[in-house]
Amino acid sequence: MKLIETANYETMSQKAAALVIQQVKSKPNTVLGLATGGTPVGMYQYLKEDYEQNQTSYQNVHTVNLDEYVGLSKEDPKSYAYYMKNHLFKHIHIPIEQTFLPAEEQGDKYEELIASLGGIDLQILGIGENGHIGFNEPGTPFASKTGIVQLAESTREANARYFSSMNEVPTHAISMGISTIMQSKNILLLVSGSKKAEILYRVLTEDVDESLPASILKTHPNVTIIADQDALSVLK
Ligand code: F6R
């Protein structure tokens, strides 16, 4: 596992975007695994700016997202489909039919889709304050595959900031499984802010265990963590 420390959120985002651009340039038909949430917003902004300045081509790129809420339509501004379109897809001229998010009825089909694309070349991840990756909450078997998952109350609370009330926050999502994520050829985990410092410390220092989903990343051969100083503050 490679750990890159950056001064702040901006430099974390810049570094992450640079790695994505490098990946897409070296393999124009790259399959990118993408994450939503607050953490990668800055990275997507830098990808947008790079596209405007350098026209990095996404014509042959395919994307597969980690997760989507159950019960929200694609047009719902709170959905991850909407998030991806708004933050990234519409800015980089990627053919929209080459972008995928898991849908409620899928599961095995999403696994087959990823396999048919040749697997994920680079998977972007964030981490929940409870150590989740994708929406695989603590206790999820490491062998899990894509399917419907129940969100932990703490995850619903953390994501309530995007909804007008707690009642509106979905209780379930469809998420890539942990084994699906682990099959990616390369993984890039982004961690920012003091709220993530405790969990990052635990991931780096505790044993690999299903109670701490992100700990499995320590067994993957090609994981890079980019963490800002605040996220690394407990480690020091
Ligand atoms: C998002 C996802 C989640 C988030 C995590 C951190 O697609 O799969 O695992 O990466 O909940 O979210 P933020 O970045 O909002 O702190």
Which of 235 and 40 is assigned the larger pLDDT? 40
167 CB contacts (<8 Å, ≥6 apart)?
Answer: none
Q: How far apart are the first and last CA of the chain?
A: 18
- For residues 47, 38, 213, 110, the Cα torsion angle rounded to the nearest 10 degrees is -60
If you take atom 11 of ligand 1, which residue's CA is the nearest one? 128
* From 43, 70, 135, mutation site for ligand 1 pocket: most ligand atoms within 8 A of C-beta: 135
State in Å: Cα 170 to ligand 1 middle.
15
Residues with Cβ within 6 A of ligand 1?
Answer: 35-39, 66-67, 126-128, 132-135
Pairing of strands 62-65, 67-69: unpaired
Q: The tokens 């894509």 sit on which residue?
A: 146
Q: Which residue in 8, 130, 198, 210 is the catalytic one?
A: 130
Asked if 104 and 148 touch (Cβ cutoff 8 Å), the reply is yes
Catalytic residue among 50, 67, 68, 111: 67
- As given in the structure block, the two tokens for residue 139 are 């206790």
Domains and CATH numbers, the chain: 2-186 (3.40.50.1360)
Q: Is the pLDDT of residue 104 over 80?
A: no
Write out the two tokens for 172: 């379930």
Give percent of the chain with pLDDT exceeding 90.
97
pLDDT in tens, 45-68: 999 999 999 999 999 999 999 999
The complex's ipTM?
A: 0.99
pTM of the model: 0.97
